[in-house]
Structure 1
Amino acid sequence: MRIILVIILFFVCLSSSSWVKSLSPSLNDDVLGLIVFKADIQDPEGKLSSWNEDDESPCNNWVGVKCNPRSNRVSDLVLDGFGLSGKLGRGLLQLQFLRKLSLVRNNLTGPISLSFSLLSNLRVLDLSENSFSRPIESEFFRQCGSLQSISLAKNKFSGQIPESLGSCSTVTLLNFSGNQFSGLLPSGLWSLQGLRSLDLSDNLLEGEIQGIGGLSNLRGISLRKNQFTGGVPDGIGDCLFLRSVDLGENSLYGGLPSTMQKLALCNALVLCKNGFTGELPEWIGEMRSLETLDLSENNFSGQIPDAIGKLQSLKVLNVSKNGLTGIMPESLSNCLNLLVLDISHNSLTGDLPSWVLKLGLQQVLFSDNGLSGSMDSVLASSTENSRRKLVILDVSQNKLSGEIPSAVGDCSGLQLLNMSRNSFLGSIPANIGQLKTLEILDLSENQLNTSIPLEIGSAISLKELTLEKNSLGGNIPNSIGNCSSLMSLSLANNEISGSIPTSLAKLAYLQIVDFSFNNLTGNIPKQLANLVHLQSFNISHNQLNGELPAGGFFNTIAPSAVSDNPSLCGSPVNKSCLTVLPKPLVLNPNSTDATPGTFSQSFHHGKKILSTSTLIAIGAAASIFIGVIAITVLNLRVTASTSRSAAAHAYFGGNDFSQSPTTDGNSGKLVMFSGEPDFSTGAHALLNKDCELGRGGFGAVYRTMLKDGRSVAIKKLTVSSLVKSQEDFEREVKNLGKVHHGNLVALEGYYWTSSLQLLIYEFVSGGDLYKHLHEGSGGKTLHWNERFNIILGAAKGLAHLHQMNIIHYNLKSSNILIDSSGEPKIADYGLARLLPMLDRYVLSSKIQSALGYMAPEFACRTVKITEKCDVYGFGVLALEVVTGKRPVEYMEDDVVVLCDMVRGALEEGKVEECVDARLQGKFPAEAAIPVMKLGLICTSQVPSNRPDMAEVVKILELIRSPSEDQDDFK
């Protein structure tokens, strides 16, 4: 009530200046203004809890508030990173003595009001890193008073920068970067003679850069990543105090004006990604203070000038992706402070300079030139200390030759080594395994001709290993399984033999494997099917044999990736794998055993073992035996059919799935997307209640087993009267069968008759999320990291569905399955597509168990059902996982809706209390609270206010980053 009275008093004060003068400052100005400001925004983290309207002054203990000790009036309001949201109200107008207003890194929205110009004493205005939007009013800066620093960076402002900006004659810092400002720059900008720092980067500004010479006090200018055209104005040479110039990523052209050489204090000149032409000028050597020179991705030609060696302070030189020719000037060896040298993607020639590693460089990038010579002399002439400093060495796509020197193993700090597309020969140095920080090793397209060293397994940080297109022999070393971070492994087009090592199955992050065009033999280790991140596995053109691994990525492997392995079998190579049987027992007439009729399992080469009459007799006996078995089976079928339902009979057809497309009541069509339709206990599974896994709105699910021992889950649809025709049903199911993602339950096949439809899924062994959260599955409580991974995994799976234009419609915790490694997999997606029409009332009746997850638009016929319905369900799911509470809880005399409960707690600053009590404080608040906020955003009543799932994934990745290494939450 008191807050309401304060707000009423505030508006009365605004309307009557006499009232303002009659009230004491402690009541009508600072306290009043700040309380009204607080009432207009949301403070979910309770950072402003110390602001109390009962205090006579805010100068004692109000957080973020600083006062002038003489006047006891508020001078600074700094609320950076407080997590505030909402729009700025007029409460701040009461702070008449405010000199600094900083609201950086919040989530404030809306436009900024013209009334801010009434803060006549304001010197610093910093609203960067918020979500302010819309164009700025044209007169906003007309009365900018004594403003010295203005930062609106990293918001969503659009439209033109107002011409009134020219009125801010006292401004020294101007930062409008990271917005969506467009159009021409205001002409008055160039009259701000006191301006020292100007940053308009990352916008949509256009036109020519004119009048820069008028900013004679300018220290730094960044116009990077806009759409400016024309050349660099000559007037830039009049800005003698310039220390930093960044005009990169525009559409500037022409040569560089010679007046730039007057910028003797400039230490950073960045002109990359433009259209500049001509030769690099000799006068560049007069800019003696340069530490960074980036002229990359232009159209410069000619040689690198000798004068560049005068730049004694130079640390970064990047002239990559131009048309430079000639040799590298020896004078560069005088740049003793150089750390990064990038001359890649030019047409430079000559020998690789021997001095290049003497300088203690951290990054050497010489790729795609015409450099020749060997690496021996370069490494030999460097010191051990300089080799240790090297982080990136890229000499790829040149004309280098000789052996790779063993001294490369002394570069202990290397993270990237790329020597591909040269003429290196001989062996890969064994001590390359000493490079414990190496992440990328590319030696492809050379003439290396020995085996891969066993020591490669000691390079434990490797993420990419590329050795393709050499003449390497020997085996793939088992030790490679020690490179636990490996994501990409390419050994294609070599002469490698032996088998694929089982140790590859230990590489949990492996995504891309290419062993094509080698001499590999043996079986493919079945353990490779457990590599959940595998995206590509090319073993074509080898001599591998046996059956492809079953499950995981190998269920969908492309035929081209396994082609030209004559003894390989499985569905992708369109070749059935024969069952391995014991050797037949045959009568051996040549046996020396005294007992007639001795049986033997051996054959004698060149001798006829069985006579023709014997073979005929055996054949006749076999025919009689098979006939007896067939009659027995038929009798058993007849007996069994009397006790089975008609639906079960239609399903099994005598336990013989038919591949026929007929759809009569006695036979059906079974299709498996990968492998043979080979069931061992299918009949028992669907007739035995013990094998039932559960029931949902679309049908019951049973577990059964294939003859290879692999379990599958079979969903028996109970919406037969609504299911589409066979043709439509098969088309939709086959489309769903093409959906593959690590966080989605894979659809492996289907069965159709007019009266019965079955969907065959991979079996996920860990149970569903609902049981883990609410029924204590296994007596174990999910810790925070497990919960977060479930939320993130579900988001990724849902985002993939939406990318494939598939709406789930039925997202809930019981449809999130947990596999043996704790990874979530979304089930039951896309089933509504099997219905002849999407009637939301029919659909609602089928998924009524999803109460609490359903978006409000389901209740309105006129609102289109879109992916945003899934986003709503995901938001509820995220809240359910964090809080451990059901979407709707029925109490004795009340009904608690989870979304409303969390939203209320957020408004009261008590949202942290909503986290599942079973976590007992073992969770990072900096992650749990943002996840709950995200859940509330996803459950917005207005569909357009909900983010896309791709955006949700990005937000979750950002939330995860600060706390991903916190073991306390496991």
Structure 2
Amino acid sequence: MRGLLKMKRLIELFVLFVLAPLCARCVNLPLNDDVLGLIVFKADVQDPKLKLATWNEDDDNPCNWTGVKCSPGSNRVVELNLNGFSLSGRLGRGLFQLEFLQRLSLAKNNLSGNINPNFSRVGNLQVIDLSGNNFSGTVPDEVFTQCGSLRVISLANNKFFGKIPDSLSFCGSLIAVNLSSNQFSGSLPSGIWSFSGLRSLDLSDNALVGEIPNVIENLYNLRTLNLSRNRFSGQIPDGIGNCLLLRSIDLSRNSFSGNLPQTMQRLVLCGNLILSRNLLEGDVPEWIGGMKSLETLDFSGNNFTGRIPSTMENLQYLKVLHLSSNGFTDSFPESVMKCQSLLAIDFSHNLITGNLPPTGSLAKLQFLNLSGNSFVGPIPETIGDLKSLSILDLSSNRLNETIPDAIGGAVSLIELKLDGNFLGGEIPSSIGHCSSLTNLFMSQNNLTGPIPAALAKLSYLQNVDLSFNNLNGTLPKQLSNLPNLHMFNISHNDFNSELPTGGFFNTIAPSSVAGNPSLCGSVVNKSCPSVLPKPIVLNPNSTSDSISSSLPPSNNHRRNRNILSISVLIAIGAAAFIIIGVISITILNFRVRSPTSSSSAAALALSIGDDFSHSSSPDANSGKLVVLSGELDFSTGAHALLNKDCELGRGGFGAVYHTVLRDGHSVAIKKLTVSSLVKSQEDFEREVRKFGIVRHQNLVALEGYYWTPSLQLLIYEFVSGGSLYRLLHEASDDYVLPWNERFDIILGTAKGLAHLHQSNTIHYNIKSSNILIDCNGQPKVGDYGLARLLPMLDRYVLSSKIQSALGYMAPEFACRTVKITEKCDVYGFGILIIEVVTGMRPVEYMEDDVAVLCDMVRVAVEEGKAEECIDSKLRGNFPVEEAVPVLKLGLICTSHVPSNRPDMREMVKILEMIKCPSELQEELG
């Protein structure tokens, strides 16, 4: 059938391009080649939204068709603009018929395939815009061999790779080049720097290398220069100062080094100067204040030192000032306070000292981050004058005194971070005026007093951390009414009340309330004292007259009965209430259990013994089996499920067994060996259901669980390929895990962890033995969420349960003052990357020493010997341009500072960017 369709297509093309012109000439009829070309183009693409419905092959010309413009004199097509038409398919030969075409724009579609080398023969093109599609492959050199009239070229946001063709140097008439967001590599064609008419050059988000030559001075018409997110190096050349018309410069996320060239002070028209995440050094020169057109100045993530220049006050148009993660010293420059157009200030992670400056003059300010410095003294009262401020981060400084009531004046606050200071006093109730507040972090201070009731009015609150303070008193019960809470950490304070009930507080993590000795409630496993009516105590020595004086008049017999009933009825009533409650709960449980679940639970219980012997079995009615997905057949007569011969392995949380159910379905069953630490049945089921609903192709799926007071089982899908640890360290000498499979394992694991974190689940126990490989070679992350089954998420308990993960554990496990977050998983993942790339265990025990893999690799990379760290078993069969960046990425993940580690979503994006071009070509071929 496919052959017939192909033959039909060839016949159509033959008729359109050969017979039709011949027949037209035979009968002397005019024939419009533009109609033919566009109809053939239409036949090669899919048009799901029928945007090309007006294209009719019976028309004399296409000048009234959607997206088509013709020359008024000749009625020939000069412009084809199909932006955002949702077209898919490939570019066929139809466009080659448009011999007068000048402007071609196919941006924001789903077109794919390679670029035809004869593309340059299309008309007399001045504008080519193929951005925002799925084009791939290399760009043939022939595309630019006839480009004398080309003015604008955009191939942005596609999947092109390889070298930018040298023939681009022939296109001397270009005024705009945009090749951003592809996978181009190598150096630039030298001719680009001689395009004197060039106004815009955007090569961002590729893998280009090399230096900017000083001949950039030839680009004296250049307005926009964007080379960000590449691998350019060397110094910024002096010649850039001759590009006097530059309005925007973005060289961020490269490896540029050295000082800023003095010639940059000539760029007085420049509005955006972004040099972040490079290796630039030295002082920021005073002449920076002469660039009076600046609106954005971003020098973050470099090695600048010294004072921030006082000439900043001249930048009256400045809106964004980012100088974070450098080595700036001295006090905060008051000159910055005179830049009254500022919207965002980020001076975080420097060495700035002294008091915070008064900020009332910055009426437009929306973002202020001064965290990670050494500021002292109070928070200024003028903070309340910042009515537009949405983000305020003063964390990790040495601020003291109290939080001013004026904080309530910053009514637009969404995030307030004051953690890691020495602030004292009470939390001001005025914070209730910040009605949009979503994130509130005040941990690790010296705060005292109760939580203000006004906090319960902030309905947008999602994350609150007040841990490690001296807060006390009772917790406002209205907190349970907050509808959006995800985290509320009050651990390590001195609260002395009952936890609120309802809403978020029914599932609050025990770690969030730990360290409050007087706190009570089910979460802390401590009952609250009951308030009961005082018993009536009768004096046995009193006379009947004295007794009768306190009771209604009656005979002695009636009087004795009343005395008895008062003391006894209370006990009888309480007992009756308890009995009725027990009966009700029993009936409800019986009704909830379906016949299938009951019989399955019975079969499962009868086939499992705690000591794996057939002689003893728990009561079938005491177990509860829950199936989370599909149906598991634990029908009567099933063989023993937990057989020592079927044991797959053991870890900190229990042993795992492989079994085949009666219906032929393979499962892996984990028998938890932490029964003394596991929560109550209610808490156990709640936590298991949470991570049981997490589903992803790179996560081992939980299919069900089984509970008795003495035995807990988790039922997982069976992953047949074994663990990554076995493939790396226990396979035969003849077996070598190929590089492309290693990369896929790293990327798939990253995707699984990213999904976990998106589902608010921390793994806590990343290691190669917990990464399983399925029959298709894809990784699946297992053992996630198990730490949540512990009644207290205590660091000591955690580290004792995952001690087999030695070498993967983030350093903050040993530091009680540092919060355990998803960044712990990122650290473990970084170690996993290094393990996969090097083929070595995270910790190697030798006769007289212990070798820590991460430290060894870090030293090698710093010495320029990264390539020597790649697993020797690969024998050079790996792409260096892919393996070395992946190895370095692993080191970045193992930073001792959690905030310096990327999150897992960023990791997925970075890994996809690193992916080797040669492998992409194979996949697309």
Evaluate the alpha carbon distance shift between residue 39 and residue 444 of structure 1 in structure 2; reply closer, same or farther with a 3 A threshold.
same
2:272 matched residue in structure 1: 268
Show the 5 A alignment for 1:852-871: 865-866=775-776
2:83 matched residue in structure 1: 80
| CA–CA separation in structure 2 for the residues paired with 1:494 and 1:422 | 16
Residue 125 of structure 1, CA deviation:
0.9
Pick one of 652, 676, 679 that aligns with 2:621: 679
- Cα deviation digits, residues 521-569 of structure 1 (max 9, x gap): 43316xxxxxxxxxxxxx5xxxx4269xxxxxxxxxxxxxxxxxxx9xx
Evaluate the alpha carbon distance shift between residue 296 and residue 869 of structure 1 in structure 2; reply closer, same or farther with a 3 A threshold.
closer
- Cα deviation digits, residues 903-948 of structure 1 (max 9, x gap): xxxxxxxxxxxxxxxxxxxxxxxxxxxxxxxxxxxxxxxxxxxxxx
| CA–CA separation in structure 2 for the residues paired with 1:357 and 1:647 | 71
Pick one of 154, 165, 180 that aligns with 2:168: 165
| CA–CA separation in structure 1 for the residues paired with 2:80 and 2:522 | 66
Pick one of 319, 327, 335 that aligns with 1:323: 327
- Cα deviation digits, residues 633-654 of structure 1 (max 9, x gap): xxxxxxxxxxxxx99998777x
| CA–CA separation in structure 2 for the residues paired with 1:56 and 1:511 | 73
Please report the RMSD computed on the Cα atoms of aligned residues, expressed in angstroms.
4.7
SS across alignment from 2:328:
strand
1:803 partnered with 2:699: yes
Evaluate the alpha carbon distance shift between residue 500 and residue 213 of structure 1 in structure 2; reply closer, same or farther with a 3 A threshold.
same
- Stretch moving more, 62-71 or 724-733: 724-733
User: Does structure 2 retain, via aligned residues, the 8 Å contact 1:241–1:265?
Assistant: yes
1:137 partnered with 2:55: no
| CA–CA separation in structure 1 for the residues paired with 2:269 and 2:17 | 51
Pick one of 302, 307, 327 that aligns with 2:306: 302
1:31 partnered with 2:30: no
| CA–CA separation in structure 1 for the residues paired with 2:171 and 2:434 | 56
SS across alignment from 1:545:
coil
Show the 5 A alignment for 1:204-219: 204-210=207-213, 211-219=215-223
| CA–CA separation in structure 2 for the residues paired with 1:126 and 1:695 | 48
- Equivalent residue letter for 1:219: R
Residue 292 of structure 1, CA deviation:
0.5
- Equivalent residue letter for 2:130: L
| CA–CA separation in structure 2 for the residues paired with 1:14 and 1:796 | 58
Show the 5 A alignment for 1:926-945: none
User: Does structure 1 retain, via aligned residues, the 8 Å contact 2:399–2:421?
Assistant: yes
2:177 matched residue in structure 1: 174
SS across alignment from 2:449:
coil
2:56 matched residue in structure 1: 52
| CA–CA separation in structure 2 for the residues paired with 1:231 and 1:693 | 62
1:519 partnered with 2:406: no
| CA–CA separation in structure 2 for the residues paired with 1:275 and 1:441 | 34
Pick one of 507, 518, 526 that aligns with 1:545: 526
- Cα deviation digits, residues 810-866 of structure 1 (max 9, x gap): xxxxx999xxxxxxxxx986268699xxxxxxxxxxxxxxxxxxxxxxxxxxxx953
- Equivalent residue letter for 2:450: S
Evaluate the alpha carbon distance shift between residue 695 and residue 293 of structure 1 in structure 2; reply closer, same or farther with a 3 A threshold.
closer
1:475 matched residue in structure 2: 474
User: Does structure 1 retain, via aligned residues, the 8 Å contact 2:656–2:670?
Assistant: no
Pick one of 610, 614, 617 that aligns with 1:659: 610
- Equivalent residue letter for 1:716: S
1:855 matched residue in structure 2: none
Residue 358 of structure 1, CA deviation:
3.9
Evaluate the alpha carbon distance shift between residue 240 and residue 121 of structure 1 in structure 2; reply closer, same or farther with a 3 A threshold.
same
| CA–CA separation in structure 1 for the residues paired with 2:86 and 2:692 | 24
User: Does structure 2 retain, via aligned residues, the 8 Å contact 1:3–1:53?
Assistant: no
2:120 matched residue in structure 1: 117
User: Does structure 1 retain, via aligned residues, the 8 Å contact 2:602–2:620?
Assistant: no
Evaluate the alpha carbon distance shift between residue 201 and residue 67 of structure 1 in structure 2; reply closer, same or farther with a 3 A threshold.
same
2:708 matched residue in structure 1: none
Residue 734 of structure 1, CA deviation:
5.3
| CA–CA separation in structure 2 for the residues paired with 1:794 and 1:184 | 47
- Stretch moving more, 330-339 or 266-275: 330-339
| CA–CA separation in structure 1 for the residues paired with 2:669 and 2:73 | 78
| CA–CA separation in structure 1 for the residues paired with 2:126 and 2:76 | 16
Pick one of 262, 265, 271 that aligns with 1:258: 262
- Equivalent residue letter for 1:661: F
| CA–CA separation in structure 2 for the residues paired with 1:33 and 1:314 | 52
1:455 matched residue in structure 2: 454
1:184 matched residue in structure 2: 187
User: Does structure 1 retain, via aligned residues, the 8 Å contact 2:603–2:620?
Assistant: no
Residue 95 of structure 1, CA deviation:
1.4
1:419 matched residue in structure 2: 418
Mark the runs of 5 or more structure 1 residues left unpaired by the alignment: 526-538, 548-566, 568-591, 604-645, 671-676, 686-691, 700-714, 738-745, 752-759, 766-792, 809-814, 818-826, 836-863, 871-949, 956-970
Pick one of 67, 82, 94 that aligns with 2:97: 94
Residue 340 of structure 1, CA deviation:
1.1
Normalized against structure 1, the TM-score is what? 0.59
1:351 partnered with 2:355: yes
2:107 matched residue in structure 1: 104
Residue 599 of structure 1, CA deviation:
12
Evaluate the alpha carbon distance shift between residue 205 and residue 438 of structure 1 in structure 2; reply closer, same or farther with a 3 A threshold.
same
User: Does structure 2 retain, via aligned residues, the 8 Å contact 1:351–1:373?
Assistant: yes
| CA–CA separation in structure 2 for the residues paired with 1:170 and 1:507 | 68
1:378 partnered with 2:382: yes
Evaluate the alpha carbon distance shift between residue 95 and residue 517 of structure 1 in structure 2; reply closer, same or farther with a 3 A threshold.
same
| CA–CA separation in structure 1 for the residues paired with 2:360 and 2:94 | 62
Mark the runs of 5 or more structure 2 residues left unpaired by the alignment: 530-543, 545-555, 569-598, 659-666, 673-680, 706-713, 723-773, 781-903, 910-925
1:155 partnered with 2:167: no
1:277 matched residue in structure 2: 281
SS across alignment from 1:473:
strand
1:445 matched residue in structure 2: 444
- Equivalent residue letter for 2:252: G
1:496 matched residue in structure 2: 495
- Stretch moving more, 276-285 or 336-345: 336-345
Pick one of 240, 243, 246 that aligns with 1:239: 243
2:921 matched residue in structure 1: none
Aligned-pair identity (%): 40
Residue 399 of structure 1, CA deviation:
2.2
2:253 matched residue in structure 1: 249
Evaluate the alpha carbon distance shift between residue 422 and residue 167 of structure 1 in structure 2; reply closer, same or farther with a 3 A threshold.
same
User: Does structure 2 retain, via aligned residues, the 8 Å contact 1:483–1:507?
Assistant: no
Residue 294 of structure 1, CA deviation:
0.4
Evaluate the alpha carbon distance shift between residue 215 and residue 376 of structure 1 in structure 2; reply closer, same or farther with a 3 A threshold.
closer
- Equivalent residue letter for 1:55: D
- Equivalent residue letter for 2:696: A
2:635 matched residue in structure 1: 716
User: Does structure 2 retain, via aligned residues, the 8 Å contact 1:324–1:346?
Assistant: yes
| CA–CA separation in structure 2 for the residues paired with 1:647 and 1:148 | 73
SS across alignment from 2:111:
strand
| CA–CA separation in structure 2 for the residues paired with 1:351 and 1:364 | 15
User: Does structure 2 retain, via aligned residues, the 8 Å contact 1:736–1:830?
Assistant: no
1:772 matched residue in structure 2: none
| CA–CA separation in structure 2 for the residues paired with 1:734 and 1:484 | 40
Evaluate the alpha carbon distance shift between residue 729 and residue 498 of structure 1 in structure 2; reply closer, same or farther with a 3 A threshold.
same
Residue 378 of structure 1, CA deviation:
3.0
- Equivalent residue letter for 1:830: E
SS across alignment from 1:308:
helix
User: Does structure 1 retain, via aligned residues, the 8 Å contact 2:646–2:657?
Assistant: no
Residue 59 of structure 1, CA deviation:
2.2
| CA–CA separation in structure 2 for the residues paired with 1:163 and 1:472 | 67
| CA–CA separation in structure 2 for the residues paired with 1:678 and 1:402 | 63
User: Does structure 1 retain, via aligned residues, the 8 Å contact 2:499–2:505?
Assistant: no
Residue 659 of structure 1, CA deviation:
3.3
Aligned length: 641
Residue 678 of structure 1, CA deviation:
8.1
2:727 matched residue in structure 1: none
- Equivalent residue letter for 1:249: R
Evaluate the alpha carbon distance shift between residue 717 and residue 601 of structure 1 in structure 2; reply closer, same or farther with a 3 A threshold.
farther
| CA–CA separation in structure 2 for the residues paired with 1:833 and 1:282 | 65
Evaluate the alpha carbon distance shift between residue 476 and residue 747 of structure 1 in structure 2; reply closer, same or farther with a 3 A threshold.
farther
Residue 285 of structure 1, CA deviation:
1.0
Evaluate the alpha carbon distance shift between residue 114 and residue 367 of structure 1 in structure 2; reply closer, same or farther with a 3 A threshold.
same
Evaluate the alpha carbon distance shift between residue 749 and residue 18 of structure 1 in structure 2; reply closer, same or farther with a 3 A threshold.
closer
Normalized against structure 2, the TM-score is what? 0.62
- Equivalent residue letter for 1:410: G
- Cα deviation digits, residues 116-151 of structure 1 (max 9, x gap): 101232221111111111111122211124221111
SS across alignment from 1:166:
helix
